């Protein structure tokens, strides 16, 4: 039988399951999904399919048992930007993120920590010199004195809430009184270079209904209210409020909101604390009134109706300007001094101890006197020139930070086909896997004692490290790249089609996913919850967008989703639904492709050239998107891939291009049903998620492969498959717990051992020749 340029009849020779395993694995996958045999051929009985699958599985298990083990090889691995920033933070006690100015890291196999992709350019070499100097001098002498500067953040100009669009909260007595989670708020993430006093100049915009009470704009930093103002105006365009306050160095979320925004409206709004101002006479004009005319009329309580709607409650913000620092906290922190000056005297002997201790921590291993002698010499020369002990130490430590031993994670080759990495190398592998940073004192101490490889000790360290706040790095650096939800930061849905999408909603979408994954790690949840959970996290802004009641305020809290049509899990998150859509509409193809790649680890082949595009103008008008797609994929060339990819995407059609629930696609009812090859049927996201978790080993194998790739910093090879399969099998007995997956990877052959450069990769058992 020939299909897809493969003739299974030709694979009858002895040893075919060894030499042609990848072909047979694809055949098994297609048997399981019903893609074999093709639709136009007779289908065997279900019992025959099950028997064939069982036979192939047994053959693969036999091969895995007899295969020659090979841990693979990871070349010297440069610290990527995130790892560099985190290592500087933990090494020196300063969080200045110097690598943010480095060139972007290349990605491979979906991640930015892959050794072969982390090249070293001349530009990066220059930036290493400056970064080392800045980091060390900040730690020893404190941040440099900065001149005040201003940064301007323009905010989207749009009408937010109006009575005409019926978008005011249904219950004006029960809403977020801080305004932080409403569409009237504005949010900006700003990095403050040093501790100091900064100015905030906020320009207001929008309108309030005439005869409203004064409005109360407010500034929040990281959710804490800093300042409230009172502005007695209904036309807020161009109104300015300002304040100065002290802010610590680092990234902070700046939020501008209107406090009690639906208080003080005219009585006709039937809101809390209605305005007591007389509504006065109504003057309607289509012409222009001067500012003096308007002011005079308003003094008499006259209500003026011009070209602009007066019933609008669309007060918003136009821009935020951050200036400073005007006063600056100078000098080093006590923590930085403690980490560096481990010897109190200003002598050459102490200088040698300081540089040796620092080099050992920076190189993430023990160092010899011969290795550290050059750094002591650098100290001596620098001190003679500057007559300053601190200047000498600073120059020596800068030299440490531009050493390849710091910039690269280097593991030494040892004799033999392969051998275990040292305990200190294992500690470094583990810390950069879970924290994207260097080992802490406890992990380094366990490694120095030579006990880290012991299973009980290793498992205990894994549990401790996952419980540490630094494991948050997994959410950003593993989950963020694997599931791609961080791309929500750059998505730009069409404003005309989705006017409700703005920055506070964007931030809430991302935060929902982050909190969900942080909780999975912290509570040691099942990895299957990633696909189909019974809960999520929301604040009022996201809850109103999802149509959920009973959630008020800007704080995120856990919400039960078990009785909703949307349900929980990553497939229900607006972040992933938005990044897998076009700016104007949903895309069953993009969503189906995302599921196949991220959830199933079965990426579809590259589409053939010259495939005609979809006529966007007809979507939702002359036919539903589904009908258009079905006609579009009538091309036989497209059917083989789209027959599986499109139904997966159609299962999410109840969720629009920014993740809101819908029942209609334009003028047509949404049809979220699907039939996969083999006849498996589902209807809607809940049944789709149930189908994807019905074979938990499929998703578990996908997650294992992704996490192992991230942990090793290299792509997986043919010889890694027995490891992935073995971990997947053992996870079932451990409830698919996240910590169990991490422990299995940490104890695996490729994580604990390595193949030297001069040793060839092993050949699969039974294969005499490899081409």
Q: What is the pTM of this model?
A: 0.86
pLDDT at 751: 97
H and E: helices and strands count for the chain: 27, 22
Q: How far apart are CA 97 and CA 657, in angstroms?
A: 35
Q: Please, are residues 766 and 63 in contact by the beta-carbon 8 Å criterion?
A: yes
Q: From CA 461, how far away is CA 444, in angstroms rounded? A: 11
Q: CA of 88: how far to CAs of 96, 135, 438, 596, in Å?
A: 8, 7, 9, 38
Rg of the chain (C-alpha set): 31
What's the pLDDT score for residue 757?
A: 75
The CA–CA distances, whole Å, from 631 to 624, 627, 635, 638, 674 equal 11, 6, 8, 11, 16
Cβ proximity of 748 and 727 under 8 Å: yes
Beta-bridge partners for 537: 558
Contact assessment for residue 303 and residue 210, using Cβ atoms and an 8 Å cutoff = yes
Place of tokens 């989670």: 181
- Torsion, Cα 654 657 659 663, to 10 degrees, reads -30
259: closest CA among 574, 609, 554? 554
Using alpha carbons, select from 677, 676, 733 the residue that is nearest to residue 700.
733
- Beta bridge pairs of residue 536: 559
Give CA–CA dist 623/454, Å, rounded. 63
- Mean pLDDT, contiguous 10-residue spans, the chain (771 residues): 55 58 71 66 74 76 76 92 98 95 95 93 95 97 94 75 46 77 88 95 91 94 94 91 95 94 86 79 45 55 46 85 94 95 95 97 97 97 95 98 97 86 97 98 97 97 98 97 96 90 90 98 97 96 92 92 95 97 93 94 78 58 68 61 81 96 90 82 94 93 97 94 94 97 98 83 44 30
Q: Report the C-alpha gap between 759 and 364 in whole angstroms.
A: 26
| Dihedrals phi, psi of 171, to nearest 5 degrees | -115, 100
604 within 8 A of 641, measured Cβ to Cβ = yes
**Which among 551, 737, 576, 514 is positioned nearest to 560, based on CA atoms?**
551
| Cα(441)–Cα(361) distance, integer angstroms | 9
pLDDT computed for residue 299 by the predictor: 53
Show the CA angle centred on residue 155, arms to residues 507 and 485, nearest 5°. Answer: 25
User: Cβ(547)–Cβ(659) under 8 Å?
Assistant: no
Q: What sign has the CA pseudo-torsion 732, 737, 738, 739? A: negative
Are 146 and 328 in contact by the 8 Å Cβ rule? The answer is yes
DSSP string, 198-266: EEEEEEEE-B--TTPPPB-EEEEETTEEEEE--B--SB-TT-EEEEEEEE-SEEEEEEEEETTTTTT--
**Angle at the Cα of 546 from the Cα atoms of 542 and 552, rounded to 5 degrees:** 45
**Number of other residues whose CB lies within 10 A of the CB of residue 237:** 14
The whole-angstrom separation of Cα 462 and Cα 619 is 51
Q: 538: Cβ–Cβ under 8 A, 6 or more apart, which residues?
A: 508, 512, 546, 548, 551, 556, 557, 559
Q: Which residues pair with 204 in a beta bridge?
A: 317
Q: Among 595, 549, 596, which Cα is nearest to 572's?
A: 595
CB 677 within 8 A of CB 574: no
Phi, then psi, of 631 in degrees rounded to 5: -70, -35
Q: In 3D, which of 352, 358, 353 has the Cα closest to residue 339?
A: 358
Q: Residue 146 has what DSSP assignment?
A: P
Residue linked to tokens 């020369």: 381
Instruction: Report residue 436 as tokens.
Output: 């994207």
User: How confident is the model at residue 63, as a pLDDT?
Assistant: 73
Q: What is d(CA 419, CA 417) in angstroms, rounded to the nearest whole number?
A: 7
pLDDT of residue 58: 76
d(CA 487, CA 501): 15
Whole-number Å distance between alpha carbons of 541 and 543:
6
The owner of tokens 């929500």 is: 488
Is the bond leading into 37 cis (omega within 30 degrees of zero)? yes
Helix H, strand E, coil C: the string for 610-630 is CCCCCCHHHECCCECHHHHHH
Question: For position 620, what pLDDT does the model report?
Answer: 56
CA distance 21 to 605: 19
DSSP 32-43: HHT-SS-TTSPP
Residue 607 carries which DSSP code? Answer: P
Nearest residue to 105 (alpha-carbon basis) of 135, 85, 134: 85
* Contact assessment for residue 195 and residue 94, using Cβ atoms and an 8 Å cutoff: no
Burial string for 210-220 (b: 16+ CB within 10 Å, else e) reads bbbbebbbbbb
At 284 the pLDDT is: 41
pLDDT at 308: 42
Identify which of 192, 188, 179, 204 has the alpha carbon closest to the alpha carbon of residue 245: 192
User: Nearest Cα to 207, choosing from 173, 273, 258, 270?
Assistant: 258
Q: Which of 95, 99, 101, 93 is nearest to 78 (CA)?
A: 99
92: number of CA atoms within 13 Å, CB side?
31
Contact 378, 395 (CB under 8 A): yes
* Cβ atoms of residues 721 and 765 within 8 Å: no
Report the distance separating Cα 79 and Cα 86, nearest Å. 10
Strands of 680-771 (E only): list them.
681-683, 753-754
Judge contact between 569 and 689, C-beta under 8 A: yes
């Amino acid at each position: 039988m020939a299909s897809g340029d493969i003739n299974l009849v030709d694979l009858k020779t002895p040893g075919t399951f060894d030499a042609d395993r990848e072909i047979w694995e694809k055949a098994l996958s297609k048997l399981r999904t019903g893609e074999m045999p093709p639709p136009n051929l007779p289908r065997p009985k279900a019992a025959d399919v099950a028997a064939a699958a069982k036979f192939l599985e047994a053959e693969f298990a036999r091969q895995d048992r007899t295969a020659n083990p090979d841990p693979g090889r990871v070349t010297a691995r440069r610290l990527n930007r995130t790892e560099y920033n985190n290592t500087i933070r933990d090494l020196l006690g300063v969080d200045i993120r110097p690598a943010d100015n480095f060139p972007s890291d290349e990605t491979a196999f979906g991640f930015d920590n892959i050794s072969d992709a982390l090249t070293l350019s001349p530009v990066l070499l220059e930036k290493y010199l400056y970064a080392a100097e800045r980091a060390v001098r900040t730690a020893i002498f404190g941040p440099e004195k900065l001149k005040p500067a201003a940064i301007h953040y323009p905010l989207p100009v749009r009408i937010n809430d109006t009575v005409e669009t019926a978008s005011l909260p249904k219950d004006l007595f029960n809403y977020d009184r801080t305004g932080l989670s409403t569409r009237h708020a504005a949010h900006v993430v700003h990095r403050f270079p040093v501790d100091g006093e900064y100015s905030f100049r906020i320009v207001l915009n929008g309108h309030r209904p005439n005869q409203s009470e004064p409005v109360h704009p407010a500034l929040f930093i990281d959710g804490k209210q800093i300042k409230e103002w009172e502005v007695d105006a209904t036309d807020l365009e161009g109104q300015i409020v300002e304040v100065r306050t002290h802010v610590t160095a680092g990234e902070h979320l700046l939020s501008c909101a209107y406090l009690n925004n639906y208080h003080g409206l005219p009585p006709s709004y039937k809101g809390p604390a209605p305005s007591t101002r007389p509504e006065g006479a109504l003057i309607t004009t289509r012409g222009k009134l001067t500012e003096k005319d308007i002011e005079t009329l308003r003094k008499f309580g006259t209500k003026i109706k011009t070209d602009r709607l007066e019933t609008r409650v669309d007060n918003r913000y136009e821009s935020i300007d951050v200036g400073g620092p005007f006063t600056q906290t100078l000098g080093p922190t006590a923590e930085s001094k403690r980490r560096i000056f481990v010897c109190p005297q200003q002598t050459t002997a102490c200088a040698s101890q300081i540089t040796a201790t620092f080099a050992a921590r920076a190189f993430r291993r023990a160092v010899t006197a011969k290795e550290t002698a050059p750094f002591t010499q650098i100290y001596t020369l620098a001190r003679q020139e500057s007559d300053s002990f601190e200047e000498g130490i600073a120059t020596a430590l800068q030299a440490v930070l531009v050493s390849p031993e710091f910039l690269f994670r280097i593991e030494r080759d040892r004799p033999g086909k392969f051998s275990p990495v040292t305990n200190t190398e294992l500690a470094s592998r583990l810390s950069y896997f879970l924290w994207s940073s260097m080992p802490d004192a406890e992990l380094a101490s366990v490694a120095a004692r030579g006990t880290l490889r012991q299973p009980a000790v290793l498992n205990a360290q894994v549990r401790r490290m996952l419980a540490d706040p630094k494991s948050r790095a997994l959410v950003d650096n593993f989950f963020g790249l694997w599931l791609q939800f961080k791309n929500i930061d750059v998505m730009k849905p069409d404003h005309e089609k989705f006017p409700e999408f703005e920055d506070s909603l964007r931030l809430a979408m991302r935060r929902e996913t982050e909190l969900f994954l942080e909780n999975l790690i912290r509570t040691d949840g099942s990895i299957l919850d990633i696909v189909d959970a019974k809960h999520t996290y929301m604040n009022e802004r996201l809850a109103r967008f999802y149509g959920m009641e009973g959630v008020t305020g800007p704080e995120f809290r856990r919400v039960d989703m078990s009785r909703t049509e949307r349900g929980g899990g990553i497939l229900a998150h607006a972040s992933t639904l938005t990044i897998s859509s076009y700016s104007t509409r949903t895309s069953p193809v993009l969503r189906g492709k995302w599921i196949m790649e991220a959830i199933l680890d079965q990426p579809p082949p590259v589409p053939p050239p010259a495939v005609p595009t979809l006529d966007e103008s007809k979507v939702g008008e002359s036919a539903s998107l589904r009908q258009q797609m079905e006609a579009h994929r009538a091309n036989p060339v497209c059917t083989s891939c789209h027959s599986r990819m499109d139904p997966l995407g159609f299962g999410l059609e109840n969720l629009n291009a920014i993740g809101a629930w819908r029942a209609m696609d334009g003028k047509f009812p949404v049809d979220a049903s699907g039939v996969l090859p083999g006849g498996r049927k589902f209807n809607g996201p809940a049944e789709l998620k149930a189908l994807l978790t019905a074979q938990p080993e499929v998703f578990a194998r996908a997650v294992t492969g992704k996490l192992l790739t991230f942990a090793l910093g290299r792509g997986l090879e043919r010889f890694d498959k027995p490891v992935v399969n073995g971990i997947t099998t053992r996870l079932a007995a451990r409830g698919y717990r996240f910590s169990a997956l991490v422990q299995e990877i940490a104890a695996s052959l490729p994580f604990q051992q390595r193949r030297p450069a001069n040793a060839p990769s092993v050949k699969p058992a039974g294969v005499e020749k490899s081409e």
